[in-house]
Chains A and B, each alone.
Chain A
């Protein structure tokens, strides 16, 4: 009984994320290619995939390293990008509280946008904590393994691609594809527009803080728009 809940959970979790790999794998390839093509280098690019394991933050890190941004600002910017995980952690916490302590400490390492999305959907109807635990592990591990392979493949590929192809442009293109689904509400759209305009205006801000300044302005605009809309 227990063993089958585990096997079922693992399999169902892995199956649930597999269609998402169509988006995850090209993203990982771009990450590897750009790391190899820039001053960051392929090895460090691969290291980010296992140490950080969060695509958007990794791409931003590579972009800022390449621009020669100070390490402190690189860290700050990447953490601003990743602060959304607080939201996922809070939503998953009631479910994870049923898991053994070791899982509660290990599984969050695998927490990504995709693993969160499929698990929350499944948890609406699943009850068995053992099944739920392995479902998350199945989804998370599938994404993790795919991500590592895609990054390494991108690095191998990137080493053969000449600079003149302008592959650094693939970074904003990935972010553009991620941006469209999150600007479907009016406050979300405003947050993106204000964030973008302020980042442009603050481009020459000291220490390369432009992105963080833009992001904070955009977040403020989104919250203000939401509150104005409620009144």
Chain B
């Protein structure tokens, strides 16, 4: 696993260095710039949705067997309203614990 971490570290450094170091001041071509704008939302969506609708590998919206879905919906509502990472973590975890205890 450490080897993979080092590989990721080197790859990440190279993306950071890219235009500053090797490519000099060359302008970023439009074909590259446009997709890069959607990396963040696409990646985050691809991480978050499976984690809340299928934490055990099967799609499950029922609060009794998968409290993470309802807890995620509550956390999303809080995230839209407050935009504060600490508040989102606190409310989301509290919702999970309460649902876990209730159901």
Contacts and interface: CB of A to CB of B under 8 A. Distances in A.
Nearest to A226: B34
Interface stretch (A4-12, A22-30, A126-134, A141-149): A22-30
A interface, size bucket: 35 or more
Given A26-B85, A108-B21, A172-B48, A191 B41 contact: yes
A192 interface: yes
Nearest to A184: B41
Given A94-B25, A109-B16, A182 B41 contact: yes
Contact of B15 (A86, A215, A218, A222): A86
Nearest to A61: B8
B interface, size bucket: 35 or more
A174 B89 contact: yes
Contact of A170 (B4, B21, B93): B93
A87 B21 contact: no
Given A52-B5, A54-B12, A172 B39 contact: no
Nearest to A27: B85
A83 interface: yes
Given A52-B9, A87-B37, A89-B20, A195 B80 contact: no
B51 to A, nearest CB: 4
Contacts, number: 274
Choose among B6, B21, B49, B92 the residue with the greatest number of A CB atoms under 10 Å from its CB: B49
B44 interface: yes
A226 B8 CA distance: 30
A192 B75 contact: no
Contacts of B71: 169
Interface in A163-215: 165-167, 169-183, 187-189, 191-200, 203-204, 210-211, 214-215
B93 to A, nearest CB: 6
Given A78-B8, A179-B41, A108 B16 contact: yes
21 contacts: A22-B85, A51-B6, A52-B12, A53-B12, A57-B12, A78-B8, A82-B11, A84-B36, A85-B16, A93-B19, A170-B89, A175-B51, A177-B84, A191-B45, A195-B42, A195-B44, A195-B49, A196-B49, A211-B43, A215-B42, A218-B43
* In the A-B complex, the 4 residue pairs with the closest CB atoms: A218-B42, A196-B49, A222-B38, A214-B46
